[in-house]
Structure 1
Amino acid sequence: MQTGIGESRRRHRRGRLMRLAVCAVLLATAGCAANSTPESTGSAPTATAPAGPSVLKTIDPAALQATVDATAKELLIPGAVVVLRTPQGDFTTVSGTTLRGTESPPGADTWFRIASNTKTMTAAAIVLMAQEGKLQFTDPVSRYVPDVPNGENITLAQLLTMRSGLYNYTDAPELSAALDADPTRVWTPQEVLAIAFQRPPDFPPGAEYAYNNTNYALLGLVAEKIDGKPLATSLQDRLFAPQGLQQIMLPAIDSTSIPDPYSHGYMYGGSAFALVDAPYPPDMQAAARAGTLQPTDYTNQNSSYASAAGGAVATATDLATWIRALVEGRVFNADFQRQWLDSVQPEDPANPDGQQYGYGISQQRFAPNGSMYFHGGELPGFNSFIGYDPDNKVTLVIWTNLTVSLDSEHTANVLLLKVLDHVYPGIPLAPPGSPTPTTR
């Protein structure tokens, strides 16, 4: 689910929301190396490579600010935030406004809808339940959720790694139509799953990879079944409170609000432009560029249809803390940290060294001593990316409050490529239309 939510179909062409963009960029970064000893995280193993001299660029805050401002202007993004943490220090770059027509600059502590970055949390909850012996990754989903087509042959691991073969409910045209007809409608997981279960599966379980929000809607129900409490409470008790995260939450199912201070989120046209791969027609592009068509404010669209797959809200500050804690081994014990790290599998078997997806996380190695674990998110109104490079101790969080640009590029992905150019040497900026990272 931008990687958000509308991700399956678009993910195959434009980048699986934020994954492929990172993939293309990181593959070009040959030569990154670890620059410091990994900080202690207890007994859990960390995803680090042998130490070596750092080849990170020296961060120039003024140049980074100029890049963010220019990109936001070019793509008509009302507001954007970049939180970058490296051994050189912490850099927060903001641009624009949280509300069109006003001067309300965003910040690292501005709340926004994180969309499919929620998957990193839903998956983490499932891994913790396995760590406690309450489930096994090889369990069939039918053990926890009834009436799943072929559910006795679909494992929890296949749901986690996007290999169930089930139809992706966010591809269904009736969903985007319903969202536009009643943006405040409350959706239950059973209602969105019914949309998916009405269609035949796309392929047999385990046969291939296909990014799919249906998988995580099911995992949310599995978590609730095991814990006997709402998913929002499970995430708070299992993840947010133990990690000291006070600026991440899964809203109540009937909530359409975001905590203060928050950013409004915008997109041209209807929800389908975020949920499926539908490019803007030329007349709409022309009207928007001429100023006769204004973007729609999607801030208060009820995100209950996304739920475990992409319904959370957060700030960039806490997301930066979360993604590093997850990758460096502060969430699971040593055994399950290793299983989590080893869960990543090539999305394309023909490219075993390419982008990989595992238990709610993407990974791309771009040098012997350099890789990034990441995810992305996209919902109507918002686009975002979270990533951590454990070899070089680089944390990066980007969010924008315009889902896609008029030329149908994911805005945070475009910004990502340009920000990485300030961090790593030798990254050629990819031309428009290049693969981008996963976000739905």
Structure 2
Amino acid sequence: MRIVPTVTVVALLGAAGCGGVSQEGPQPVSSTPMAVSAERVDRIRTDIDGMVRGGTTGVIATLTENGQTVTLTAGVGDRASKAAIPMAPPQQVRVGSISKTFAAALLLQLVSEGKLRLDEPVDTYLPGLLTGEGVDGRVITVRQILQHRSGLPEIADDPELDETRAVAEGRTFTPQQEIAIALRKPAQFAPGARFKYTNTNFIVAGMLVEKITGRTYSDELTGRITTPAQLPDTYLPGPGELGFRGPHLQGYTVIAGVPTDVTRSEPSIAWSAGGMVSTGNDLNRFFLALLAGRIVADAQLREMLATQPRSADAPFEYGLGIGSTPLPCNTQYFGHVGEIVGFTTVSGATRDGRAVTIALNDSPDKEPDFTNLLGDALCP
């Protein structure tokens, strides 16, 4: 299972490409940039073409500003057909760890309703779940889960939890099975001692949603976020749902030196930590709504965005299920990066109404570093 974190620092180079504009949300594109600044469009056009020249299969960049959305593409969405990526309708991708921001938002809604307390032990809600060598759910808090400060062992590198292997074997996993696999290993550190990005935390987060609400995580995601926020292409596939529900990019990873189609993937493995499908239009809408206080109540949003200082253990700032980094234009990016087999995506927004999603249909050998790209995408 490869569902990884957020932003580090490297420059991405480029030349020129193609683009179009949608009026709002998931509507068809037109031919004029309108409210999105021409400078942003030109910079990102250059960047994404450079990524394709460097070996990336395909890229979709979705820029939003003042209620208008521009879609830019480079490369191909399908290596077999070599067809250019359509700009409309929006193309679905697997968004990996961007799913964590949605999970955190669900839990913070429950906090605002008085059904959950951030500084309460996980054992209060999921008694007996977290028990192992150095692991005690009676001292791990919900806040530590969302901040990646729980010390829980990591499941992502366990060979048993591999999405493509699960497809070949026809296997699915329950969250309980995944936690049991994680707890074969000892704790990484004492709860609260430091930051360590750990996907196991957000499997626990999904289980908390289900226990507190008495409904499936997918139903809560739909009822509380994707339907009210009008995100028609955003969903969590069910166990065994290997494909996509709408137009999508094919996903690729290199196996034995050959780019291999890994579009079909078992979603029950990444689940609430990284199993979601979405589009650039939907993700831009989500992050703008989140920062505007339309997803999570103001008091809980302040806690969500209160990031921990950078340290050797946390080379980026991280709040509750969301990352943050300063941009060169004196503004702050809030968002997340997601990498899951076949796809790599970065998405987020600024408080002054700009948003971006960059989606690659690749699992590159070297994890991309999006800081300069975010500056190009989100600075005026």
Q: Shorter-chain-normalised TM-score: which range?
A: 0.7 to 0.9
Is structure 2 residue 99 aligned with structure 1 residue 148?
no
Aligned to 1:18: 6
Q: CA deviation at 1:422?
A: 6.2
**Superposed displacement of residue 363, structure 1:** 1.2
Q: Distance in 2 between matches of 1:177 and 1:219?
A: 20
- Per-residue CA shift, 1:38-91, capped at 9, x if unaligned? xxxxxxxxxxxxxxxxxx98516456434322321212x222100112359533
Partner Cα separation in structure 1 for residue 40 and residue 191 of structure 2? 48
Look up the match of 1:376. 337
Inter-partner Cα distance in structure 2 for 1:160 and 1:199: 20
* 1:78 counterpart residue number: 57
Do the aligned residues in 2 keep the contact of 1:142 with 1:151 (CA within 8 Å)?
yes
- 1:79-121 Cα offsets, whole Å, 9 max, x none, are 2100112359533111222211211514361011111100010
Identical-pair percentage: 30
Are 1:401 and 2:380 counterparts? no
Amino acid at match of 1:232: S
Query: Over the residues paired in the alignment, what is the CA RMSD in angstroms?
Result: 2.6
Q: Please report how far the alpha carbon of residue 341 of structure 1 lies from its aligned counterpart in structure 2 after TM superposition.
A: 2.4
Match for 1:100 among 79, 82, 85? Answer: 79
1:241 CA displacement: 1.3
Aligned residue number for residue 372 of structure 2: 417
Deviation at 1:199, TM superposition (A): 0.5
Please list, as runs of the form range in 1=range in 2, the aligned pairs for 1:259-278 lying within 5 A after superposition.
259-269=245-255
Identify the match of residue 298 of structure 1 among 240, 259, 262: 262
- Cα-to-partner distance string for 1:135-170 (whole Å, 9 max, x where unaligned): 100111112222312010000000000000010111
Letter in 2 for 1:403: S
**Structure 2 residue identity aligned to 1:93:** L
Tell me which residue corresponds to 1:335: 299
For the 8 Å contact 1:328–1:390, the answer to whether it is kept is yes
Task: Tell me the SS of whatever aligns to 2:363.
Answer: coil
- In the TM superposition, what is the alpha-carbon distance from 1:339 to its structure 2 partner? 2.3
1:33 is aligned to none
Q: 1:403: how far off?
A: 1.0
1:125 lines up with 2:88 in the alignment:
no
Cα distance per residue 1:350-397 (max 9 Å; x no partner): 98xx62111110112346941110101011100000111214x32110
- CA contact under 8 A between 1:184 and 1:300: conserved in structure 2? no
1:327 maps to amino acid: L
Would you tell me which structure has more helix in proportion to its own residues? 1
Match of 2:238 among 242, 246, 252: 252
Equivalent position SS for 2:60: strand
Confirm whether residue 199 of structure 1 aligns to residue 160 of structure 2.
no
Q: Within 5 Å, give how 1:53-68 maps onto structure 2.
A: 58-59=38-39, 61=41, 64-68=44-48
2:281 paired residue number = 317
SS in 2 for 1:169: coil
TM-score (norm 1): 0.73
In structure 1, the residue matched to 2:22 is none
In 2 relative to 1, CA 266–153 (structure 1 residues): closer, same or farther, beyond 3 Å?
A: same
Higher relative contact order (CA 8 A, sep 6+): 1
- Measured in 1, the distance between the counterparts of 2:67 and 2:103 equals 32
TM-aligned CA distance change 1:178 to 1:301, over 3 Å: closer
What stretches of structure 1 of length at least 5 have no aligned partner?
Answer: 8-16, 26-55, 270-283, 289-293, 426-440
Q: Which amino acid aligns with 1:164?
A: S
| AA partner of residue 99 (structure 2) | T
Structure 2 letter corresponding to 1:107: M
Amino acid aligned to 2:347: I
The question of 1:215 aligning with 2:215 is answered no
Matched length = 349
Query: Which residue identity does 1:65 align to in structure 2?
Result: R
* 2:328–2:375 CA contact under 8 A, matched in 1: no
8 A Cα contact 1:97 1:106, kept in partner: no
Q: Cα distance 1:402–1:244, how it changes in 2: closer, same or farther (>3 A)? A: same
| Other structure's SS at 2:80 match | coil
Task: Go from structure 1 to structure 2 and tell me whether the alpha carbon gap of 1:335 and 1:200 turns closer, same or farther (over 3 Å shift).
Answer: same
Letter aligned with residue 348 of structure 1: S
Q: Which moved more, 1:307-316 or 1:296-305?
A: 296-305
- When residues 338 and 61 of structure 1 are mapped into structure 2, their CA distance, relative to the original with a 3 A threshold, is closer
- Secondary structure of 1:116's counterpart equals helix
Q: Give me the whole-angstrom Cα distance separating, in 1, the residues matched to 2:285 and 2:270.
A: 23
Q: Secondary structure at the match of 1:182?
A: helix
How far, CA to CA, are the matches of 2:150 and 2:379 in structure 1? 36
- 1:166-203 CA-to-partner distances (Å, cap 9, x unmatched) read 10111223434983683642111111111110110010
CA contact under 8 A between 2:92 and 2:279: conserved in structure 1? yes
Letter in 2 for 1:79: G
Is contact 1:79–1:106 with CA below 8 Å preserved after alignment?
no
Partner of 1:136: 117
Is 1:389–1:395's contact at 8 Å kept on the other side of the alignment? yes
CA deviations 1:326-357 (Å, max 9, x no partner) are: 12211122222222222x21251798xx6211
Query: Structure 2 counterpart of 1:233, which letter?
Result: D
Aligned equivalents of 1:421, 1:183: Cα separation in 2: 43
Contact 1:140-1:155 within 8 A present in 2 as well: yes
3-state DSSP class of the match of 2:64?
strand
